[in-house]
Amino acid sequence: MTLDTRAPAIRANRLGKRYGHVWGLRDCAFTVPAGSIVGLVGPNGAGKTTLLAMTVGLLAPTEGELAVFGEPVRAQTAGTLARVSYLAQDHPLYRAFTVADMLHFGRSMNPGWDQDLALRRMDTLGIPLRRKVKALSGGQQAQVALTLALAKRAPLLALDEPVASLDPIARLEFMRDVLAASADSGLTVLIASHVISELERFCDWLLVLTGGRLQLSGPVDDLLAGHAVLTVPRQTPSSGLPGKTISRTDSDRHSTVLVAADPARVAAARQPGWQAEPAGFEQLVLAYLSRPPLGACAADPALAGASGGRVEP
């Protein structure tokens, strides 16, 4: 398998997916450099799983372009499936197989299979190779599925809510294995999760989806530098603030506003009595998540009538 490692890991342009009359995802454009760990955040039904499934070649886009390492994604083709490793939310396994059978299956299906890594993980986790999958606990089943995804050694690893069924220590141990692979081989990781505090540690790139639209995308450092939290007198209108107002909380006498504006712009617009603080990761993500889904897919009647654009730094 030849792979252009200088090409972006994922490149999407005007990407959309329609289910019947409803767009699950629309007008999605972003470019993620190889070696990134990308956090994909959004409420349930925002289009996260749709985006993941298209990226890994399990679902064909309705419109637009999508490339992984410079190669257009073609759904259900061997070339695409070899470049990506995907762990679905329900981490599917063959329940009647033993753990050893599952590893054997992974090995015979994947040319780059890392049997040492698979055996080491099973040993470390104390999961017996001879046990049947259905006899394992939920957490152990998740660990076997995670191990199959890691041992495939594909250059892009896509994880859909990968650790929801694991306890905090097991989650951390799994992410340590992912981070080690990222440091060793420049593995690119796309990870959908609701646990924002964990994403802050792992991710250097962020995608925020709401209502089937991409609301925010970019390197985490740039996004944080491009936003500020202002505390201003209550009567200050949002139009009098620098940049675009993303979220606003009004108290009796003052308002706290998260704006999309870089530090120079904030400094230039600053009035006496204003306080400006850098935006935090969680604060930023929550502000975009709780915003009305601007530019939401018009085909969804619940969201029809909404208008506006997304912020793309």
In whole angstroms, what is the distance from residue 251 CA to residue 134 CA?
54
CB atoms near residue 154 (< 10 Å): 22
Cβ atoms of 9 and 36 within 8 Å: the answer is yes
Closer residue to other proteins in complex, CB, 116/184: 184
Shortest Cβ 181–other proteins spacing (Å): 10
Shortest Cβ 203–other proteins spacing (Å): 7
In whole angstroms, what is the distance from residue 68 CA to residue 30 CA?
12
Shortest Cβ 165–other proteins spacing (Å): 19
Question: Strands 275-278 and 227-233: what pairing?
Answer: antiparallel
**Amino acid sitting at position 236:** T
Closer residue to other proteins in complex, CB, 140/182: 182
Closer residue to other proteins in complex, CB, 178/214: 178
Distance of CA 198 to the CA centre of its chain: 12
Shortest Cβ 230–other proteins spacing (Å): 14
Binding site for other proteins (CB under 8 A): 35-37, 172, 175-176, 179-180, 182-184, 197, 201-204, 221, 224, 267-268, 270, 278, 280
Residue 192, helix vs strand vs coil:
strand
Residue 202, helix vs strand vs coil:
helix
Cβ atoms of 162 and 146 within 8 Å: the answer is yes
Shortest Cβ 89–other proteins spacing (Å): 22
Closer residue to other proteins in complex, CB, 164/172: 172
Shortest Cβ 221–other proteins spacing (Å): 8
In whole angstroms, what is the distance from residue 82 CA to residue 214 CA?
27
273, containing H or E segment: none
Closer residue to other proteins in complex, CB, 96/169: 169
Closer residue to other proteins in complex, CB, 184/252: 184
DSSP assignment of 134-176 equals: GGS-HHHHHHHHHHHHHHT--SEEEEESTTTTS-HHHHHHHHH
Closer residue to other proteins in complex, CB, 107/265: 265
Shortest Cβ 184–other proteins spacing (Å): 7
Cβ atoms of 179 and 157 within 8 Å: the answer is no
